[in-house]
Amino acid sequence: MIQESKSLQISVVIPVCERYSEATGLYAEYAEGLNALGRSYELIFVLDGPRPKFVTGLEQLIREGREFTIIKLSRSFGESTALMAGFERAAGEIIMTLPAYHQVDGRDIGKLVEALDSVDLATGRRWPRVGGRFEFLRRSAFHGLTAWVTGQQYSDLGCRARALRRRVLGELSLYGDQHYFLAVLADRQGFRVKEVDLRQSPKDRFDGRYRSREYAHRVLDIFTIFFLVRFTKKPLRFFGMIGVSTFGVGALLLTYLVIDRLVFRNPLADRPALLLSSLLVVLGLQVFALGLLGELIIFTHARGIKDYQVDEVISYPDLDAEPLAQLHEVVNEAR
């Protein structure tokens, strides 16, 4: 149901990538859940490249008089790019992302919007969760590694059902496969994030097999997020730690070789340890210098970088009774 932007409350972005279900059934399920909210909404389908089977279903919906928006990308750019294209077109105060396949029960998606009363981003968690032992181990390993490198605990980052306030979009920019870590990136910016239990759709079945390359990509993505979350604003801490450690090992080894030459008169010629120690010293200095260069770049652009979010502003002494009570509540929570 598309409304004018002035009264539009919810924009639903559905990226149609490699995996998708039949469009008419998917539309009916999502429309049922959204209509139950009693709010105005728009549906935006983003076609990540040619998806002829899905387009056939959209054409059927058009003939039935259904209203929605279609964004067609020139080729397949990936889900993160498709989401960003949909976000640019979305006009609602609340942005919802839903998968183009049956993943969660459509009747439960309203829980995500209701959760925004207390948080900035609500992400779905399929529960109860179905799947075999291997699937359970794979999920546990992925989320365990993510929690270890980011310090943030989530149990279903693969769920594509999310709802977020519009102001969150102004602080996030997705690329590559970072859509998996939307909640992690939002939390890093200071937004309040919550996982909401949604019933898993009985049609949520992935019959294929992930290739080893996919697992390697996910591991690299996790460590990319690790750097973005921990060291984007402090590159010297990351590169400096590596540089100092490398330089220290090389310097100790080089010192040992020098003492061995001067005291015990052992020759340095034809000793691979001399070459290795010299390489470690030079490499350590270069990595440390790279961290310093990163710090200079961050310092130059520091005025345009904001890594915090203002939750509420309370003016004093222009406080009436209600804001004063809110202030006492904030102070008590801080204690």
Query: DSSP letters along 121-172, please?
Result: EEEEEESS----HHHHHHHHHHHHHHHHHHS---S-TT---EEEEHHHHTT-
pTM of the complete model: 0.77
The answer to which of 61-70, 147-156, 195-204, 304-313 has the lowest mean pLDDT is 304-313
298 compared with 255, residue with greater pLDDT: 255
Q: Which two tokens stand for residue 322?
A: 């209600």
Does residue 1 lie within any of the structural domains?
A: no
Q: Answer yes or no: do 247 and 214 share one domain.
A: no
* Amino acid found at 62: I
* pLDDT 10s digits, 48-94: 999 999 999 999 999 999 999 999 999 999 999 999 999 999 999 99
268-296 CB burial, b ≥16 within 10 A, e <16: eeeeeebeebeebbeebeebbebbeebbe
Residue 237 pLDDT > 90, yes or no? Answer: no
Both 277 and 137 in a single domain?
no
Angle of the 235-264 helix axis to the 212-231 helix axis, nearest 10: 100
**Average confidence (pLDDT) over 180-196:** 93
Give mean pLDDT, residues 100-117.
96
Same domain, 250 and 152: no
Percent of the chain with pLDDT over 70: 86
One domain for residues 46 and 134: yes
In terms of C-beta density within 10 A (0-12 exposed, 13-18 middle, 19 or more buried), how is residue 221 classed? middle
Q: pLDDT tier at 314 (50, 70, 90 boundaries)?
A: low
How many helices and strands (H and E) does the chain possess?
11, 7
80 and 214 assigned to the same domain = yes
Tell whether 280 is covered by a domain. Answer: yes
Q: Is residue 321 part of a domain?
A: no
**What average pLDDT does the structure give for the chain?**
86
* Domain ranges, residue 55: 10-231
Predicted local distance difference test score (pLDDT) of residue 55: 94
Summarised one tens digit per residue, pLDDT across range 272-293 is 898 999 999 999 999 999 988 8
Confidence at residue 5, expressed as pLDDT on a 0 to 100 scale: 46
Contact criterion met (CB below 8 Å) for 244 and 280: no
**Other Cβ atoms within 10 Å of 253 Cβ, number:** 17
2 pLDDT more than 50? no
- pLDDT the model gives residue 212: 75
Q: Are residues 300 and 165 part of one domain?
A: no
- What is the structure's pLDDT at 91? 93
Q: Residues with Cβ < 8 Å from 240, sequence gap 6 or more? A: 288, 291, 292
Same domain, 179 and 103: yes
The better pLDDT of the pair 225, 70 is held by: 70
216 and 86 both lie in a single domain: yes
Query: What was the pLDDT predicted at 214?
Result: 80
- Domain termination residue (choose one: 184, 207, 231): 231
Across the beta sheet with 94-97, what order do the strands follow? 69-72, 41-47, 10-16, 94-97, 162-165, 121-126, 193-198
**Strands 94-97, 10-16: parallel, antiparallel or unpaired by DSSP?**
parallel
Q: Which of 180, 196, 231 is the last residue of a domain?
A: 231
How does residue 329 score in pLDDT terms, banded at 50, 70 and 90? low
Q: Which of 118-127, 274-283, 308-317 has the lowest mean pLDDT?
A: 308-317
Residue 319 is assigned to a structural domain of this protein: no
pLDDT tops 90 at residue 176:
no
Q: Are residues 256 and 292 in the same domain?
A: yes
Averaged pLDDT, 87-106: 95
Q: Is residue 159 part of a domain?
A: yes
Number of domains in the chain: 2
**CB–CB of 142/154 below 8 Å?**
no
In the chain, helix, strand, coil percent, each to 5? 50, 10, 35
Residue 231 pLDDT greater than 90, yes or no:
no
From 192, 209, 231, give the residue that closes a domain: 231
Q: Are residues 83 and 135 in the same domain?
A: yes
d(CA 222, CA 140): 14
pLDDT at residue 172 is higher than 90: no
Residues 161 and 130 in one domain: yes
Whether 211 maps to a domain, the answer reads yes
The domain that holds 204 is classified in CATH as: 3.90.550.10
One domain for residues 212 and 247:
no
More confident residue, 99 or 175: 99
The answer to whether position 275 is within a domain reads yes
- pLDDT-derived band of residue 317, with 50, 70 and 90 as boundaries? low
Is 138 inside any structural domain?
Answer: yes
Per-residue pLDDT at 310 exceeds 80: no
What CA–CA distance (Å, rounded) separates 187 from 181? 10
